[in-house]
Amino acid sequence: MFLPSSLVGPRRRTATALGVLGAALALTAITAGSVTAAPRPDRDRVHVEPGEAYMGVGTRIHEGDPAGAPSPGTLAPTDGVQGIDVSHWQGAVNWTSVRGAGIQFAWIKATEGTTYKDDRFNSNYPAAYTAGVIRGAYHFARPDVSGGATQANHFVNNGGGWSRDNLTLPGVLDIEHNPYGAMCYGLSTTQMRTWINDFYTTYKSRTSRDAVIYTTASWWNTCTGNWTGMSAKSPLWVAHWTSASSPAIPSGFPTWTVWQYTSTGSVAGVSGSVDRNQFNGSRDRLLALANNT
């Protein structure tokens, strides 16, 4: 269709202006999105590389999420003393919002194996403290790469220490299904008991504290041979994602101190799913654990 030259100019100028405006708005949206919504790693993928492990990943890979696992709202934040555990998989955490949501404690991944340190630990650990969350550090065990004493030293040297400041919990040994290979890391039950005891002994000599043990009943019973040797030493943090009113605990432990009851929890200040935990006692007892009183 032929248009007079007097009409072509204004329409072309209008279209050009709209195009420039649209491009500017698109660029603004992209820029804003990159600032406010940085991509997070996919914590739910099955394969993880060395250093990427987090609490419960071995259970997720080897056992899966049981059909009866509770939804994030099964235990409300007001039900008992509530906590979470995090690693780099959660990305940036707003710890003020976490505390405001009723979360009283948290354990934060510090190390794995002999050389790895979580790249979010140095920001998460002091930020949780500043927000008033009673926090501690955890080490993801790799009995297949070095001895327990070596890994305990690596842990203490990279965030796993302790101080009586009313906000610091003892360190945790996360010992669970191997996410990288054979369930028991290629160790016999006797070797595994030695490895765990070496970690515990070294950690206590460095910090004066009994390390908390995080595990599942199935892993502990299989890979340590129903060992009772740690029940009088270490508080038990048991992972059991179930809708039951209490968790299954490993042989040899009389009770649980902390229960990780879901791996798909939701908490203000954390993007995506997060492990939810319940402390077996009052806040006063949690503070007693923190302060070794």
By residue count, the chain amounts to: 293
Choosing from 118, 174, 210, 275, which is the catalytic residue? 174
Q: Can 174 be counted among the known catalytic residues?
A: yes
Residue 176 is among the residues annotated as catalytic for this protein: yes
Q: Which residues pair with 52 in a beta bridge?
A: none
Q: What is the dihedral of CA 21, 24, 30, 35, to 10 degrees?
A: -130
Task: Out of 85, 112, 210, 275, pick the active-site residue.
Answer: 85
- Cβ atoms of residues 278 and 79 within 8 Å: yes
Considering the candidates 52, 112, 118, 176, report the single residue annotated as catalytic.
176
Nearest 5°: the CA angle 47, 262, 86 is 65
SS3 label, residue 183: coil
CA–CA distances in Å: residue 153 to residues 149, 165, 202: 6, 22, 7
Annotated active-site residue 144? The verdict is: no
Burial 16-39 (b: 16+ CB within 10 A, else e): eeeeeeeeeeeeeeeeeeeeeeee
Q: How far apart are CA 56 and CA 46, in angstroms?
A: 12
Residues designated catalytic:
85, 174, 176
